[in-house]
Structure 1
């Protein structure tokens, strides 16, 4: 077992402990009247085969249906009696389970949570009952216009990467899944070597770490399967459009998207993070002021740099009337062209840097914010340094860095376009 205090110039000071079975524990003491435990698996929907798409999310549901030591629903009832809260989430490349409780209850709840995660049961009756719940969730996602246009975008950007598959799966596939397949999926992927357990709150680091080590559920070591290796998609070579009609929409949707570097090329993504803020995040952003406030051509406008491990996508999304789509698209491209030619201002860059620094401080106040930060970065990159140095690295960027990123990654003659009409 090895423990390392992560040295940083920031307000964060977590300690990382690696166990012989491959488990990583991250612990930090902060003076609040609570503890948040967040268990991260570096396993999401991307490890699924096409035949079991949706299994990772379905498994997240079934984890709470009991273990050898806990009946279905017993864990939630015990937590509710103590005033604690629990939840979980599944994404493309990770799944995490978390609870918040008082320091005095932590030692009682911790082994129950880990028992559910590592020793779940999948009784057929519960499996079939929960399958109906998941199928209803899939149906709601299909009925959600925003989810639908988002899925269209993912199909457009990542036709060959597993990112294009819906995390929830499809009705046709979910209906065919069996409890035996789920047991095999769990046995394959839910292993200590795939886990990062993060505990932050009002107990000494040594106590937090030792309580996790003492849980008998973790005394196992099984080799995790090799994940499939994928290559990034090639940059768009032309404009690829996907236009469809959804009469349930009150307003049309327009999305422009580019393939950009992912987490594995983190230094290249930082200027794109800044560019997204300058273009379309907040009321001071260029697109909001021009398209929303001045010209009144959109009701909503946003920009985002979405980072996945293998590859990311930079996108701009607008809600608007159908007759405004051509003009809005042209204006968006003109704003990008202006940055490519003239760059951004130092004032804009300073504003973004200050906002990032402030958010970093604000997000340090709650244990859950810290466990999410640590768990995400360590489960995805195997290091906390990129998280703890994010603000510092953003503040090192120059206006030239932002301009070069726009020139290199946002080709005005090659990108994806999603248009959702409402008539």
Structure 2
């Protein structure tokens, strides 16, 4: 077994029974590792605190566009060479960008970890962002934006975010806009890259059949010589004022056969993660599966909706709680009124023990199913380490199990207010 050469990479204390181990280098680079003895696979997932919320308004879409350009090579790696190298050893690679982060991952046989990791680090630290590739890839990103205009659910979500957030960068679409993309230059992107792709904003997660010593040594060797930070526009992120009323917006869309209703609330940020877990439970109780309250009543019994679901999304600064329905336009008012009434019921009546136990069991099972593979574990650890601390991820089932009916009643009253929310509707032109 190789010896750990990087004595300056210090372990971050975790619980004794925590399967994941966290290390932090002198320059701030964080390494998260879990050895899975039974896995022949190695997953490397690199997370960067450089999502859409890191962009000034005029650079909207830069983080996502940069995600594309990362794969366009460096002075040493020509465009396409990285993908060819990964595919040649039977591996896969991909990336994603959100408001809070961008992340890039590769999955290969563990035997290929040593040869593939340096190339991933090369792309992330020394992206060339050549002008010709910039112009070519900008057309690809613009096509993504145009496609989103044809998706009524995407349009409704963006309208919801604009109404929910009037100041915070979460109000802006991750993809950006046509105008913002056309106004950007390769030099501006290089500045954004060199400013944000720095060790103190980066977490490298390695999960699978790679020993701790091997993972730490190879990461330490590969993630060196970060770019010199350039001048990138800085801007203060304003705290979003509390929502004090019901805000409404209606979209009229051509050829839309089924109306959409979206109700949304702002929830706690990562600093109140226990509250966030409670909202996760409330989401399941309200509209997750056939046994949930709104599905049983509005779809199965009354048949007012074709479908209804609730979704909770944890974000760094504030989370998002939504209830979405697909329905005939004639039922819009009565469905919204019924949903609000059922929320009020959560404020005043404790959830029955059997119903609460069923929701807890569903979330614990979902957690178990979503942490079966090295790729799932790497994504989970990277997400949590980027927002807070990776070790918190393993505590999720325990924290879900600890909730009682009274605590959930208080959380519903605090966050799922019946007179302060955003209601967005998409309806077909023929209903004008």
d(CA) in 2 for partners of 1:104, 1:340: 55
Task: Determine if the alignment matches structure 1 residue 319 to structure 2 residue 319.
Answer: no
- 1:149 to partner: Cα distance: 0.2
Find the counterpart in structure 2 of residue 417 from structure 1.
423
Aligned residue for 2:308, secondary structure, equals strand
d(CA) in 2 for partners of 1:149, 1:3: 44
d(CA) in 2 for partners of 1:4, 1:241: 46
Find the counterpart in structure 1 of residue 6 from structure 2.
none
Closer, same or farther: CA 8–394 of 1 in aligned 2, 3 Å = farther
Query: Contact 2:381–2:391 (CA<8 Å) still a contact in 1?
Result: no
- 1:375 to partner: Cα distance: 0.3
d(CA) in 2 for partners of 1:50, 1:204: 43
Task: Determine if the alignment matches structure 1 residue 145 to structure 2 residue 152.
Answer: yes
d(CA) in 2 for partners of 1:284, 1:348: 9
Once the two structures are overlaid, the 10-residue window that deviates more, 349-358 or 64-73, is 349-358
Pairwise mapping of residues 381-396 of structure 1 onto structure 2 (< 5 A)? 381=388, 383-396=389-402
Q: Cα RMSD between the aligned structures?
A: 1.7
Query: Contact 1:22–1:221 (CA<8 Å) still a contact in 2?
Result: no
Closer, same or farther: CA 172–354 of 1 in aligned 2, 3 Å = same
d(CA) in 1 for partners of 2:304, 2:144: 34
Find the counterpart in structure 1 of residue 216 from structure 2.
209
Find the counterpart in structure 2 of residue 185 from structure 1.
192
Query: Contact 1:344–1:399 (CA<8 Å) still a contact in 2?
Result: yes
What do residues 333-385 of structure 1 show as CA deviations (whole Å, max 9, x unaligned)?
1211111121211112111222222223222220011111110011111x123
- 1:231 to partner: Cα distance: 4.5
Query: Contact 1:262–1:310 (CA<8 Å) still a contact in 2?
Result: yes
TM-score (norm 1): 0.95
Find the counterpart in structure 1 of residue 53 from structure 2.
46
Once the two structures are overlaid, the 10-residue window that deviates more, 332-341 or 219-228, is 219-228
Find the counterpart in structure 2 of residue 131 from structure 1.
138
Query: Contact 1:6–1:13 (CA<8 Å) still a contact in 2?
Result: no
What do residues 164-191 of structure 1 show as CA deviations (whole Å, max 9, x unaligned)?
1011000011111110001111111011
Pairwise mapping of residues 325-364 of structure 1 onto structure 2 (< 5 A)? 325-364=332-371
Once the two structures are overlaid, the 10-residue window that deviates more, 287-296 or 353-362, is 353-362
Find the counterpart in structure 2 of residue 400 from structure 1.
406
d(CA) in 1 for partners of 2:299, 2:16: 40
Aligned residue for 2:71, secondary structure, equals helix
Task: Determine if the alignment matches structure 1 residue 200 to structure 2 residue 203.
Answer: no
Q: 1:259 aligns with which of 254, 266, 271?
A: 266
- 1:223 to partner: Cα distance: 6.5
Find the counterpart in structure 1 of residue 101 from structure 2.
94
Find the counterpart in structure 2 of residue 17 from structure 1.
23
Closer, same or farther: CA 5–366 of 1 in aligned 2, 3 Å = farther
Closer, same or farther: CA 327–238 of 1 in aligned 2, 3 Å = same
Pairwise mapping of residues 25-40 of structure 1 onto structure 2 (< 5 A)? 25-30=31-36, 31-40=38-47
d(CA) in 2 for partners of 1:102, 1:6: 28
Pairwise mapping of residues 272-283 of structure 1 onto structure 2 (< 5 A)? 272-283=279-290
Q: 2:301 aligns with which of 294, 312, 329?
A: 294
Closer, same or farther: CA 196–227 of 1 in aligned 2, 3 Å = farther
Task: Determine if the alignment matches structure 1 residue 73 to structure 2 residue 56.
Answer: no
Query: Contact 1:193–1:221 (CA<8 Å) still a contact in 2?
Result: no
Unaligned runs of 5+ in 1: none
Find the counterpart in structure 1 of residue 224 from structure 2.
218
d(CA) in 2 for partners of 1:196, 1:324: 47
- 1:227 to partner: Cα distance: 6.8
d(CA) in 1 for partners of 2:424, 2:16: 42
What do residues 278-334 of structure 1 show as CA deviations (whole Å, max 9, x unaligned)?
001111110111111111111110112222211122221101000011111111112
Once the two structures are overlaid, the 10-residue window that deviates more, 63-72 or 301-310, is 301-310
Aligned residue for 1:83, secondary structure, equals coil
